[in-house]
Structure 1
Amino acid sequence: MATKIRLQRHGKKGKPFYHVVVADSRAPRDGKFIERLGSYNPNTNPATIVLDFDRSLYWLNVGAQPTDTARAILSYKGVLYKKHLQGGVKKGAFDEAKAEELFVQWVEGKEARIEGKKSGLANAKEEAKKVALAAEAKKKADKAAAIAAKNAPVEEAPAEEETTEEVVAEAEAPEAAVEATAEATEATENAEETEG
């Protein structure tokens, strides 16, 4: 029987959730399967993958062919690399201890990269939250200033300045009238002197 390691779609519309299964290649996508190996949830960031490592390795060794997406998942979890190392042991390229050491080293590096991505995403989320909070605080302060300016009592100082200008203008007007009358009297006196 030709077996495949593939994904079975579950979940609701717009929120897919997949089971990683071993099934006959002729069976429908979501139909009968031989064994469930794990699950894959692409809705989280990074995607959540739960996989039975030993059973996945067993099915690869007995000839089950993974689909492209299932191959990517198996590679991400290290199942394909473990199979590759076992092939090297069978050929005599290195012993079992060296293979296990290489695999542990690979797993540690992979976990470090995953943790780095998670922390980077968390930092980006915190940074975005800080920026949004600062923008909201600025907007709130601007709004409060606008409300304070609108509700402030009308200043009477400009009205007082206008009244003082009118008083000064009125004060200057009598002085001008006095000067004008003084000039007029001088002009009449000059006119009388010239006649007389």
Structure 2
Amino acid sequence: MPVKIRLQRRGKKGKPFYWVVAADSRSKRDGKFLEKLGTYNPNSNPAQITLDVDGSVKWLQNGAQPTDTAKRILSYKGALLKHHLLGGVAKGALTEDQANKKFEDWLEDKEQKVEGKKGDLAKAQEEAKAIALAAEKEVNEKRKAAAAEVEAEATAEEAEAEAPAEEAAEAAEEVAATEAEEAPAADGEEKNADA
């Protein structure tokens, strides 16, 4: 029975999630499988991958052929390296301790690279936030300046409108005062004429 290590799609439309499985090459993509070896979530950055390295190496030693994507995942998690090192142990080129030491060193180096990438991504996000905040502050300052200009123009127009209104009010007061002075005098004349 030819065995393949491949991805089996899970998740929902637009949000794929994969299981890494060992399955008969004649079975359907999402059909029966022999063993689940791990998961792969490409929706996050960096992608989240969990893998049973020892189980994957066991299937590789038994002749399972990984698909292209599964091969990249196995390489990323070190299953192919461990398979290669165990081949060297079987041929007598390495001792098992040396192979384990090389594999552990590789894992530490890989973990540092992943942490470095996460740090770079976090730094890039912070820089993007800072740039967006600066741009937003600049837009707000422009809006405040424009609002202040509009308010100053409105105040100037009100002052101009109030000046003629004040002059008209003063003129009306003067006319009223003049009429009030003339009115008592006219009443006095009428009283004198009646007498």
| Count of residues paired in the alignment | 157
* 1:62 correspondence with 2:46: no
Q: Which has the larger radius of gyration?
A: 1
Q: Which runs of 5+ in 1 are unaligned?
A: 158-196
Aligned to 2:130: 130
| Percentage identity across paired residues of the two chains | 61
Distance 2:64 2:19 in 1: 16
User: Which runs of structure 2 are paired with 1:29-178 in the superposition (5 Å)?
Assistant: 29-152=29-152, 153-154=155-156
Aligned to 2:167: none
Map Cα deviations across residues 118-163 of structure 1 (whole Å, 9 max, x no partner).
Answer: 1001100000000000000110011011101111221879xxxxxx
Q: Which runs of 5+ in 2 are unaligned?
A: 161-195
TM-score with structure 2 setting the length: 0.77
- Offset at residue 50 of structure 1 (A): 0.9
Distance 2:24 2:87 in 1: 26
TM-score with structure 1 setting the length: 0.77
Map Cα deviations across residues 73-122 of structure 1 (whole Å, 9 max, x no partner).
Answer: 00000000001011111111121111111111111111111111110011
- Offset at residue 5 of structure 1 (A): 0.5
Distance 1:136 1:89 in 2: 61
Aligned to 2:16: 16
- Offset at residue 11 of structure 1 (A): 1.3
Map Cα deviations across residues 22-69 of structure 1 (whole Å, 9 max, x no partner).
Answer: 111000101111111111011111111011122111111111111111
Distance 2:94 2:67 in 1: 30
Distance 2:79 2:136 in 1: 48
